[in-house]
Structure 1
Amino acid sequence: MDPNLLKKLNIERAARRSCAVVTDLSDGRDRLVKQAGSDVIQGPLGNAIQAALRSGKSSVFDTEGRRFFINAHVPALRIVVIGAVHISQALAQIAKAVDYTIDIVDPRTAFATAERFPDVNVYAQWPEDYLETHPLDTYTALVAVSHDPKIDDAPLIKALNANCLYVGALGSRKTHSKRVERLADAGISQEKISRTSSPIGLDIAAASPAEIAVAIIAEIIQVLRHRDGA
C-alpha cells in the first residue's frame, strides 16, 4: 500500500471514521474512500462501497468488466450506558455476547462497582467528567437508564449534539415529555430530540430488566444495520 494512503487511512481509523480502501484488481491501484466526503464514488461501485461500510464486511465487486476489492474499515460499535442499574447489568452481559464494547457510567459509587459489573469498564464518576476523556462519536450508542435527570440529561445533550448512532432514554411517555421540555430549554432542536428512543428499546412488551436490555440491544443493532451510507 502507498505510504501516503496508509497515513490517510490511519488518520481516519484513529478518528473513528469509517472508510474503505478500494483496489482495482486489474492494475493494483488503491484509493481511499471516506463514508462522507468529496471523494464519494457514484454508480454501482459507489453503492457497493456504501453497502460494505454499512455491513462492515469487505467484499469483491465486479462492474463493467473490472473487478474491485473493497476493504472496509469501520469503527467498532461502542455502547455507553449512563446508570449502573439492573438493566445495565443485563446489557453488559448481552453486549459481550455480541462482541460490543460497553462502558458503565454512574456517579453513585454504591452502584458503579466492579462486584456488580465484573469484567466491564465501570466509571464511578459524573458523565460530564467521563465524557471529557471519552468523547462521543457517530459509532457510539448512548443509553441513559439512571432515571435521574441530574445524571441523564447532560450526556443526552452531548449525544444528540455529537450525532451518536443511537440515543435512548428510559422512561414512560409522560417522563419523556418532561425530558423533551428540558432538552428544548437547553437549546436542542426538535429534529435532534426526535432521534431519542423513548420508551427505550424495540416494542416487544419487555417486562423485566433483562428483557428491557434485550429490547435495547436489538434496537441498537437495528439502527446500526439500517443506517444510511451518508
Structure 2
Amino acid sequence: MKLDSLHALNVERAARRAAMLVTDLDDGSQRVVREAEIPADPLADILARRLASGKSGLVEVEGRQFFLTVQVPAVRLVLIGAVHISQALCPMATAVDLSVSVIDPRTAFATPERFPEVPLLPLWPDEALAGPVPPLDRYCAVAALTHDPKIDDPALIAALKAECFYVGALGSRKTHAARVERLSQAGLSPEQIARIEAPIGLDIGAVSPAEIAVSILAQIVSALRGGGPRAVKGGGPA
C-alpha cells in the first residue's frame, strides 16, 4: 500500500468514517474512495454493495480485476435501560460483533451482576453521552428501552441529532404518539422523529424479553446492511 493511501485511510479511520482502497490488479494503481464519494465513483454500485457487506474482496469490471479493501468503523450499540430485554440483547449483539454498552441511572438495575463483561454506565443519558461514552455517530445504533421519558427522550434526541444509523424505542403506538409530541416540543423535525423505529423491533410476534431482543437485533442488522427496516414494522410490548 502506498504511503499516501495509508495516510488517507488512517485519517478516515480516526474520524470513524468508512472508506475503501481500490487496487487495480492490472496496473497496480490505487485510490482511496471515501464513503461520501461513492455515489460519484465509476464503480459506485459495486462499492456500495461492498460497503454494505463490510467485506473486502476481488471484483471484475469490464475485464479488469480490482481488489476492494473495505474499511468500516466498528459498529456500536448503545442500550438505554438496564432491563431484561437488554440482558438478553447484550450477548446476542456481541455475537454479531457489535460493541455494546448500557446506560441507566437506576443503580438497582445497572449492576455488574446483571450485566457481566458489558460496559455499564449508571448515569443519566445526557451526562453519559456528554462524557464517558464516545460521541454518537452514523455507525451507532441506539435502543431506548426504559419506558421512562426522563431517561429515554434525551438519548433519542442525541441519537437523532447525531444521525445514528438506527434509533429504536420501546412502547406501543399510543406511547409513541405521546413521545412524538414531546420530541416535537423539544425542537426535532417530523423527518427526524420519523426515523425512530417504534414500536421497536421487527414484527415477529415476540413476547418474551429474549424474543423481543431477537426482533431488535434483526432490525438493527437490517438497517446496517441496507435492508430497509422501516418496510417491516411492529414488535415490542405496550
Give the alignment's TM-score, normalised by structure 1. Answer: 0.94
Cα displacement (A) at 1:131: 1.1
- Secondary structure of the residue aligned to 2:45 is helix
Cα distance, 1:33–1:185 mapped onto 2, change above 3 Å: same
Aligned positions of 1:92-171 closer than 5 A: 92-133=90-131, 134-171=134-171
CA contact (8 A) 1:34 1:40 kept: no
2:40, 2:123 → 1: CA distance? 41
Residue 11 (1) aligns with residue 14 (2): no
Instruction: After TM superposition, give the deviation of residue 4 of structure 1 in Å.
Output: 2.0
**Partner residue in 2 for 1:91:** 89
Cα deviation, 1:123-160, whole Å, max 9, x if unaligned, reads 11111122123211111110000111001101101111
SS of the residue 1:47 aligns to = helix
**Alignment length, in residue pairs?**
226
Task: Tell me, in whole angstroms, the C-alpha distance in 2 between the residues paired with 1:194 and 1:77.
Answer: 22
Provide the C-alpha distance between the structure 1 equivalents of 2:17 and 2:179, rounded to a whole number of angstroms.
Answer: 30
Correspondences of 1:20-31 after superposition (within 5 Å):
20-31=20-31
Report the CA distance between 1:38 and its aligned residue: 7.9
Tell me how far 1:63 sits from its aligned partner: 1.5
* Cα separation, 1, equivalents of 2:9 and 2:206: 42
Q: In the TM superposition, what is the alpha-carbon distance from 1:192 to its structure 2 partner?
A: 1.1
Unpaired segments of 5 or more residues in structure 2?
A: 229-238
Contact conserved, 2:82 with 2:104, CA < 8 A, in 1? yes
CA separation of 1:38 and 1:52: change in aligned 2, threshold 3 A: closer
Aligned to 1:60, what secondary structure does the other structure show? strand
Verify: 1:219 aligned to 2:219, yes or no.
yes
Question: RCO greater where, 1 or 2, for CA within 8 Å and sep 6 or more?
Answer: 1
Conservation of the 8 A alpha-carbon contact between 1:103 and 1:120: yes
The answer as to 2:23 corresponding to 1:47 is: no
Distance 1:27 1:37 in 2: 23
Identity of aligned residues (%): 55
Q: Does the 8 A contact of 2:38 with 2:48 survive in 1?
A: no
Report runs of 4+ in structure 1 exceeding 3 Å deviation.
37-40
Shift of 1:46: 2.0
Q: 2:208 corresponds to which letter in structure 1?
A: S
Tell me how large the CA RMSD over aligned residues is: 1.4
Match of 2:177 in 1: 177
Contact kept, 8 Å, 1:23 with 1:30, in 2: the verdict is yes
Cα distance in structure 1, aligned partners of 2:85 and 2:38: 42
For the residue of structure 2 that corresponds to 1:142, the secondary structure is strand
Aligned counterpart, 2:189? 189
| 1:39/1:33 CA distance change after superposition, 3 Å | farther
- 1:131 and 1:227 map into 2 onto residues whose CA distance is 28
**Normalized against structure 2, the TM-score is what?**
0.91
CA contact (8 A) 1:33 1:39 kept: no
